[in-house]
Structure 1
């Protein structure tokens, strides 16, 4: 029976010790805060998002210029596909209107 009592006393002591350590840790060793920076670090310039097909559908003249520049190789990226898609859709609408007689 003494071994059972000793085991219980050891376990209770460990539980109380760990509990007190978790509760008192912020008091014993305060958490250090990171120093505040005066200004954030300059970020690398992010490339602008390519304009969408809807933008080029509203500005067909600009879309035509972008498609021409893409063919020359002076412009690259998502704008080429979006501008070309807008031009193709506009030409398709015009052909459909002519076919229907409007």
Structure 2
């Protein structure tokens, strides 16, 4: 008989604890903080001549000239990497096309 009273008491205590936790959750949990943005984030200025990989894929001859200039030291900057990446992509596409016979 004592075991059943203890078991029922434990269940009642757990039920009250869970109900109290759910009821007090909005009070206990921290309020979400709103982020106030007064102005847009500054955009990094890029040089007008910096071109991306897609540009060089469309203009592969310019990409080859830029890579040649990078090798002899006349061209510097981020365009060297993007031009070389474009050449690699175009060459891979040509090899894939030749291999598949398309």
TM-score, with structure 2 as normaliser: 0.53
Q: Which runs of 5+ in 1 are unaligned?
A: 1-45
Partner of 2:63: 63
1:100 is aligned to 2:100: yes
Q: Quote the Cα distance in structure 2 between the aligned partners of 1:75 and 1:91.
A: 22
Match of 2:23 in 1: none
Aligned equivalents of 2:53, 2:59: Cα separation in 1: 10
Question: Which 4+ runs in 1 deviate beyond 2 A?
Answer: 46-49
Runs of 5+ unmatched residues, structure 2: 1-45
Measured on the aligned residues, the alpha-carbon RMSD in Å equals 1.4
Residue 49 of structure 1: how far off its partner (Å): 5.2
Q: Give 1:101 deviation, angstroms.
A: 1.0
When the two structures are superposed, what TM-score results if normalisation uses the length of structure 1? 0.53
Task: Provide the aligned length of Structure 1 versus Structure 2.
Answer: 57
